Amino acid sequence: MADRDIAIIGYAETKIELRSGRSVYDLAGEAFATALEHAGIDKSEIDGMAVNASFSDAGNPFYSPVLSAYLGLELDWCQTTDLGGGSVTGNIARAAAAIRSGLCETVIAIAADAQSTENRGNIGAFRSEFQYPVGVMGPPGYFGLLSRRYDAQYGLDPLALAKLAVTQRNHALLNDKACEKLRRPLTVEEYLKSPMIADPIRMLDCVMVCDGASAVVVTSTRHARELGAKRLVHPLGYGERVNYNETDPTPDITAVGHTAAGRKALRQAGMSIRDVQMFHPYDDFLIAIVLQLEQLGFCEIGKGCGFVMEHDLSFTGDLPLNTGGGQISAGQAGLAGGGHNLVEAVRQLFGEGGPRQVSGKSNAMVTGIGWIPYGRNWGSSTVMVLEAN
Amino acid sequence: MTTTIDALAGQRPVPIPLNFSKPFWDGAKRGVLMLQYCPVAKKYQFYPRPVSVYTGKRNLEWRQASGKGTIYTYTITHRAPAPFKDVPPYVVATVELEEKVRIISNVINCPVDQVRIGMPVRVTWTKIGDETMFPLFEPDR
């Protein structure tokens, strides 16, 4: 990817809404139409499609063909990716591989879910057998287990988490796509007083599940030029790790696959972590940002809270972070939530950040997190490095 | 233990076993914690799987575990998920067994503010539905 042979030439993001009452196909349709318009291309150019598995139409074994039919697409390649929050970055890498191998030429990568309106998900398996009887409260319960362990090993500074919450909230105030319910100012004191739901996880540590969609148009740089695209963003590197320390029955649960995925993405991009100018980490919980800062090498293991306190992470700061508000302050569009982090990075690199536009930054790191295995940390870790043309 | 403290008692959904975990649930009925053991790696694994996670082979054995361990981490749940209704705060813990595997369960018969990482615990069984026995943990004093 470092040879800049693949390009993102357009993007779209819907408003993120709580219980919108909309179908996932309607949300996907809006993102699709808006992305085509933004890229300035005709629908007939699209010959490939990748989409994330959604909660709202989970159980449909023909999801991507059904979606492509709703969109009036006749395709040479399509697929559903079930890496949860890692699916959107994963789909750009999959689109790049499909384009390079000649399967197709121009891909619409869609992320859509209406989880707060309809959830047909049934993860089942070991969860029905061993977890549901003991009342693990879904992701907050798991992140409660993780946070307690992290605190015992390294010390968890609530003021650092509060700073992340407030920084991201200030960004959401400048983002009219963010969920309206979350677009009110937040203070450090309010974060600290937020009720414990899975102690030490507070309510304001968590995302709010919403509905929403996003899309990006991916093609070869050569074809992007033929199409007359003026603005390009190149994926320079990508790393993916599904499950981590899987054959260690008693792993350190504060370690995650982003260590491996980040190393690979940076190596492909020919960069070091110090070269990264903007960071758009997947944020289902605030502590996930702290862990990723450590595991990706922005700081030493166990020093993530200190890093947060020492750096200005606002859109005018030294390391702008989740400048659209992140999912925690913009709302999590179900399993499409990672599209928010991704599209915000692309939007910034296109120079279209509006009132929250960063200045003087030409690259970004975007990450994904997906699925929660039994008694471990998260299972899927993705890392992508993007650069403006 | 004379008084049972278990916030979720009587409300737990019946587990839905997969076919290859039958020895675990058969053992549970006898009050015995059974674990899969890989004779090649000489290691245990939990939850039950169709193959050894160490070798990918299907020559797994089932062995009786001691039922003793320590708390690796825990969370105090203040808002219970469905189907639990109106329950007081309860502890979900990751217990590291002596056999070097981890199991997620509740720590019962212990006030929530007395639970600590590293605390010794032992298995205790609760009945779910008509015939399923499920492993919980209590302080091993």
Residues of chain A with C-beta less than 8 angstroms from the C-beta of B12: 133-135
Q: Looking at the complex, report in whole angstroms how far the Cα of residue A144 sits from the nearest Cα belonging to chain B.
A: 5
Instruction: Tell me which residues of chain B, numbers 44 to 73, contact chain A at a CB-CB cutoff of 8 Å.
Output: 44-47, 53-54, 72-73
- pTM (predicted TM-score): 0.97
Q: Taking a C-beta distance cutoff of 8 angstroms, is the pair A184, B60 a contact?
A: no
> Strand A48-52's sheet: what is its strand order?
A77-81, A48-52, A106-113, A212-220, A6-13, A233-242, A380-388, A363-370, A279-280
Interface contact flag, A249 B101, Cβ < 8 Å: yes
Q: Taking a C-beta distance cutoff of 8 angstroms, is the pair A208, A181 a contact?
A: yes
Interface contact flag, A126 B47, Cβ < 8 Å: yes
Report the run of H or E that residue B23 belongs to, with start and end: helix B22-29
> Residue B67 contacts by C-beta under 8 Å, 6 or more apart in sequence?
B33, B97, B122, B123, B135
Report the run of H or E that residue B29 belongs to, with start and end: helix B22-29
Cβ–Cβ contact A360 with B under 8 A: no
- Report the residue from A129, A135, A147 with minimal CB separation from B92: A135
- Report the residue from A135, A200, A246 with minimal CB separation from B53: A246
- Report the residue from B45, B101, B104 with minimal CB separation from A136: B104
Q: Is the pLDDT of residue A1 over 80?
A: no
Cβ–Cβ contact A128 with B under 8 A: yes
3-state secondary structure of B21: helix
Q: Regarding the domain delimited by A6-121+208-388, which CATH topology (the fold level of the hierarchy) does it fall under?
A: Peroxisomal Thiolase; Chain A, domain 1 (3.40.47)
What is the reported pLDDT for B2? 47
- Report the residue from B17, B81, B117 with minimal CB separation from A129: B17
What's chain A look like in SS3? CCCCCEEEEEEEECCCECCCCCCHHHHHHHHHHHHHHHHCCCHHHCCEEEEECCCCCCCCCCHHHHHHHHCCCCCCEEEEECCHHHHHHHHHHHHHHHHHCCCCCEEEEEEEECCCCCCCCCCCCHHHHHHHHHCCCHHHHHHHHHHHHHHHHHCCCHHHHHHHHHHHHHHHHCCCCCCHHHCCCCCHHHHHHCCEEEECEEHHHECCECEEEEEEEEEEHHHHHHCCCCCCEEEEEEEEEECCCCCCCCCCCCCCCHHHHHHHHHHHHCCCHHHCCCEECCCCEHHHHHHHHHHCCCCCCCCHHHHHHHCCCCCCCCCCECCCCHHHHHCECHHHCHHHHHHHHHHHHCCCCHHHCCCCCCEEEEEEEECCCCCCCCCEEEEEEEEEC
Q: Looking at the complex, report in whole angstroms how far the Cα of residue B122 sits from the nearest Cα belonging to chain A.
A: 16
Cβ–Cβ contact A246 with B under 8 A: yes
Closest CA to A54 of A94, A26, A92: A26
B127 DSSP 8-state letter: E
Residues of chain B with C-beta less than 8 angstroms from the C-beta of A200: 75
Q: Is the pLDDT of residue A29 over 90?
A: yes
β-pairing, A363-370 with A279-280?
A: parallel
End-to-end CA distance of chain B: 11
What is the reported pLDDT for A334? 97
Q: Looking at the complex, report in whole angstroms how far the Cα of residue A16 sits from the nearest Cα belonging to chain B.
A: 25
Output the six-digit token pair for A244. 């981590």
Number of A–B residue contacts, CB under 8 Å:
120
- Report the residue from A148, A199, A247 with minimal CB separation from B78: A199
Write out pLDDT tens, residues A250-285.
999 999 999 999 999 999 999 999 999 999 999 999
Interface contact flag, B104 A124, Cβ < 8 Å: no
Interface contact flag, B104 A250, Cβ < 8 Å: no
Residues of chain B with pLDDT under 50: 1-2
Residues of chain B with C-beta less than 8 angstroms from the C-beta of A133: 12-15, 128, 134
Q: Taking a C-beta distance cutoff of 8 angstroms, is the pair B4, B138 a contact?
A: no
Interface contact flag, A137 B54, Cβ < 8 Å: no
Strand partners, B71: B95
Q: By CA distance, what is A254's nearest residue in B?
A: B73
Q: Taking a C-beta distance cutoff of 8 angstroms, is the pair B121, B95 a contact?
A: yes
Interface contact flag, A375 B44, Cβ < 8 Å: no
Cβ–Cβ contact B40 with A under 8 A: no
From residue B69, alpha-carbon distances to A3, A97, B55 in Å are: 53, 47, 26
Instruction: Tell me which residues of chain B, numbers 90 to 119, contact chain A at a CB-CB cutoff of 8 Å.
Output: 90, 92-94, 96, 100-106, 117
Is residue A290 exposed (0-12), middle (13-18) or buried (19+ Cβ within 10 Å)?
A: buried
Interface contact flag, B76 A196, Cβ < 8 Å: yes
Mean pLDDT value of segment A144-161: 98
3-state secondary structure of B13: coil
From residue A115, alpha-carbon distances to A18, A64, A88, A155, A272 in Å are: 9, 17, 16, 34, 37
Length of chain A: 389
Residues of chain B with C-beta less than 8 angstroms from the C-beta of A253: 73, 94
Separation CA A264–CA B103 (nearest Å): 32
> Which residue reads 């690259």 in tokens?
A363
What is the reported pLDDT for B3? 64
Q: By CA distance, what is B95's nearest residue in A?
A: A375
ipTM of the complex: 0.96
Interface contact flag, B73 A149, Cβ < 8 Å: yes
Res. A228 pLDDT band, cuts 50 70 90: very high
What is the reported pLDDT for B4? 77
Q: Is the pLDDT of residue A118 over 70?
A: yes
Output the six-digit token pair for B42. 């000489």
Instruction: Tell me which residues of chain A, numbers 131 to 160, contact chain B at a CB-CB cutoff of 8 Å.
Output: 131-138, 141, 144-149, 152
> Which residue reads 């509740």 in tokens?
B106
Q: What angle do CA A75, A347, A64 make, to 5 degrees?
A: 25
Q: Taking a C-beta distance cutoff of 8 angstroms, is the pair A158, A305 a contact?
A: no
Interface contact flag, A136 B92, Cβ < 8 Å: yes
CB atoms < 10 A from the CB of A26, how many? 17
What's B44-87 look like in SS3? EECCCCCCCCCCCCCCCEEEECCCEEEEEEEEEECCCCCCCCCC
